Every structure is written in C-alpha cells, then in structure tokens.
Structure 1
Amino acid sequence: MAHIETVSESFTALQVSQEDGFVLARMNRPEVRNAIDETMVSEFHALCGELEREPQILVISGCVAETSKGPRGIFASGADIAQLRERRREDALRGINSGIFQRIAKLPSPVIAAIDGFALGGGLELALAADFRIATPGAKFGQPEANLGIIAGAGALWRLKETVGNPLAKEILLAGRVLSGEEAAQSHLVNELFAADELDAGAREWAQKIASLDPLAVRLSKQLFDMPVEAHPAVDNIAQAVLFESEAKFDRMQAFLDRKKK
C-alpha cells in the first residue's frame, strides 16, 4: 500500500511504514514523551482514512526518549497538557481525542498496541482502542485525569471496566492506581509481555498471526463482536452467508481436508 507512505510523508508526529502484512505507526514526539496533541490526532485521522479505504492490520507503538536515567521506551504519556490547559467547553464537545480513538477502534482490520514505558491518560485510552495490547514488564498504565481536575473522557470510563472489570477499573480511575506491565498482563489489560528489545518482534509476530487468517472472516468477526445482543443471531447468519460464498472459504476448507488425508 504505497499510498499510505505517500500520505504520511508530511507527518511530523507519526512515523508510518508499510511492513510485511501490516502498517506500523510509531508515535515520535520523544521531547514531550509522545504527548498526544492535535497534530498527532490529525495524522491519525489521515492514516485511518487510508486504512478504511484499504484495510490492513495496524500496529501502534511508541519510541525511545532520552531521560535523566538514559534512553527509555515511551508509548504515550497522555494528552498534551499545554493544549489541554487551554481547551474549553466547545473543545470538549468536539471530542478531539475520543473521536480519533473511536475511529481507531472501528477500523476494519485489527489494531495492535505495542507498549513500552508510559501509557498514561490519553496514552492508555489510545491503547484501549486497540484490539490487542502487548507490552514490556516495565510499562506503566494509568489514568491520572482526576488529579488534573478532569475525567478520563476519551474512552477509559467505559472501555477500562469492560477490559479489567469494575473493581480494578475504579482503582485506576478513582484512586489513581498505576499498573506495571506484569500487573496489566495479570488483569488481562495486556495480552502478552515481551522484553523491551523483543517488543517490535512480538508485534510483528501478532500481526503475522492475524494475517494468516482469512481477512474477510476476521473483518466481519470484528464488526459483529460489538453488535448488541439483540442483533444476534440474525447478523451472524447474514455474515456467514457472505463467507459461505467466498473463494477463500472453499480454498481453506479444501486445504484442511487435504492435510487430513496425509
């Protein structure tokens, strides 16, 4: 998908590359620990536009930032506080961050967040918009918004409890608890842990695992997953009817039967 790299040539907050079977979007504002500003939001919107037209698996990762303790991985430390400080009622109603996170969550193909370092505030809400999260043991997950006089208004108030359950979600949202990577994995916030130097390879492994499945079956499964209970089983029957006529279904089932004969 060469068009994605062409579109992203003017990006400054994201580094986007076409990988083998997936698109990698690396947040690249190390000087502010990948704080999510309106430029980054705009670039994510442009990227989503391309992935909605030509679906592909998306991997979102951070970068390495220089700190007083040396180079450290960083996913996203949250929204850009300097911009957030100046936002007023109309800005909140525009849903600047919630809008892009919802768009990422609704992308046709799966999204993987690869997390090292801080995933705080909007950083965790961005990770929650992904279908899968992999991380390092040293990653940090939290929602410090209440300490700043606001709420976690870009998805955490409802996505977090769906992911980790009400008791832990309340600890994070109402008492400021910050989870380590290991705690996040134990609570199923994170799907798998990798060493920091193996995180990129881990993301590639997850992307290739998904890419080995039938793209249309995965795409329809993702769409149906969030349907209200009342829509089932009718929507399942319709989707299955589409898949029953696909060439991929016949080819993949025949290959399965051929393997059983050996």
Structure 2
Amino acid sequence: MADALRIDERDDRIVATLDRPEVRNAIDQAMVDELHALCERLERSPRLLILHGAGGVFASGADIAQLRDRTSADARQSINATVFDRIRRLPMPVIAAVDGYALGGGAELAYAADIRIGTDRVRFGNPETGLGIIAAAGATWRLPEIVGHARASELLLTGRVIDGPEALMWGLLSALHAPDDLLPAAHALADRIAANDARATELTKRLLLTASAEHLALVGEIQAELFDSDEKRRRMTAFLERKKSR
C-alpha cells in the first residue's frame, strides 16, 4: 500500500505532502497514523513543517466511507482532533500551503497550522452539520481565534464554502500566490523563520499557544533564558556592528 504522506526531509524543515490524489487527499486512518509518526519525529528533533497537498488539492476532508462506519466509541477517541492538536503543538512553526479544496477535516488540518498561505483556487468549508455531525477536530475553537466568532459561526452553522480571496480578506490566509508559486512561497517563509534563532522561535510559538492568564508569569522566565544566551549576544553584536558600518 502506498504511503498517504510524501516526505521531503531537509536539515531545517520537512515538507509533508498529503498524497491520496485519487480521493482528493481525504484523511483516512492511514494518513492519521503517518501524521502521528511524523509528529513523533518533529517532537524529538524539532524542525519547521510545511504541509501541502498533491494534485492541486489540500484535503477534501475525512474519508466519508470510514467516517460513516465510525461509532460513538470512535468519536470519544477524537481520532482527527488528537493528531491535529499534536501538529498544532509541535515545537517549531507549521506552514500550511493550501490549494484547491480544504473541506471538513482538511480545513481543520489547515486551521492547526501557525501560518496559512493559499491560491485563488482555495475552497475552505466545514460541511459537517449537513452530514449529521459536527466539526470536532478543531474548527469550533481554532476558527473563532483565527477569523473571529461571528465569521466562524457563519461558516460552521451554514456550511458555506469560501474561496481564496475571501479567506485572505477574513485573515484565514495571510497571502495568495499563483499555484506554481505556492510551495516556493512556503519555502521563502520557512527561510525567513529559519534565519532567526531557533530557540527564540520555539519559545515565541510556545507563548503564542499559552493562555493569556498564564502569559505574564511565563514571558519573563522565557525572556530570562534568552537574555543569557550566547546566540542573543552574537546576533545583537552583529546588528550593532552592521549599524555602525552604515
């Protein structure tokens, strides 16, 4: 059986391409298992992650044939929610390069990324209520954080699908690119992130995921660690020397 993910591994990043084009990259149990295995590697050896879909589609959603046969016991295991939460909490940033359909579980996978870029061809939507279920893998809590409560309510309660320009206007995407430029644009973002101090990047992401009530207590401790680092002194010295030479 072919792998559901195609992995391109580099020193500072991994590109994971959802690769089930015959079913528009629908997320089945095999893909979930491979995403867990990928997360285990990135938790052990933190690197940037770029998520991408084969065949001009990000992910058309969960595999409905499998979903139809799942029971209440399966629902309580939160199969997709668990792996998407693991992706959300990876130590280093996650970039979703979204083209074509990102529906249902596919949309929720994109919502779990730190940064989302896309194309005009993007189609975001959560049609779950039309199938007699709810969007239970992150949409009801991540989407309001991204686009606000009112817009999230509209998408989740109506099942409406939005295109790339509307997703950009709403802030669901941070940039639009031509399809052929999408993956290079994701790498350009990754290059900018990788040029920064890895530990400072990791700790910034940690703070972005920290509840506001805990934020104040934690931010001082994190900054204290960085203030004493050799990398901070090296980078600031280089900055001052560049400024002096102008």
Alignment of 1:1-262 (within 5 A): 12-19=3-10, 21-64=12-55, 73-262=56-245
Equivalent pairs counted in the alignment come to 245
The DSSP-based 3-state class of the residue aligned with 1:192 is coil
State the AA in 2 paired with 1:53: R
* Aligned equivalents of 1:202, 1:225: Cα separation in 2: 23
* Aligned equivalents of 1:55, 1:24: Cα separation in 2: 13
* Aligned equivalents of 1:142, 1:232: Cα separation in 2: 32
Structure 2: stretches of 5+ with no match in the other structure: none
Following superposition, the deviation at residue 228 of structure 1 comes to 2.1
The DSSP-based 3-state class of the residue aligned with 1:227 is coil
* Aligned equivalents of 1:11, 1:244: Cα separation in 2: 48
* Aligned equivalents of 1:101, 1:176: Cα separation in 2: 21
- What does the per-residue CA deviation read over 1:71-118, in whole Å, with 9 as the maximum and x for residues that have no partner? xx1000000000000000110010100000000000000000001100
The CA RMSD measured in Å over matched residues stands at 1.1
Structure 1 residue runs of 4 or more that deviate by more than 6 Å after TM superposition:
none
Partner of 1:68: none
The DSSP-based 3-state class of the residue aligned with 2:17 is strand
* Aligned equivalents of 1:244, 1:191: Cα separation in 2: 31
* Aligned equivalents of 2:176, 2:34: Cα separation in 1: 28
Following superposition, the deviation at residue 241 of structure 1 comes to 1.1
Q: Is the 8 A contact 1:29 1:35 kept in 2?
A: yes
Residue identity over aligned pairs, in percent, reads 52
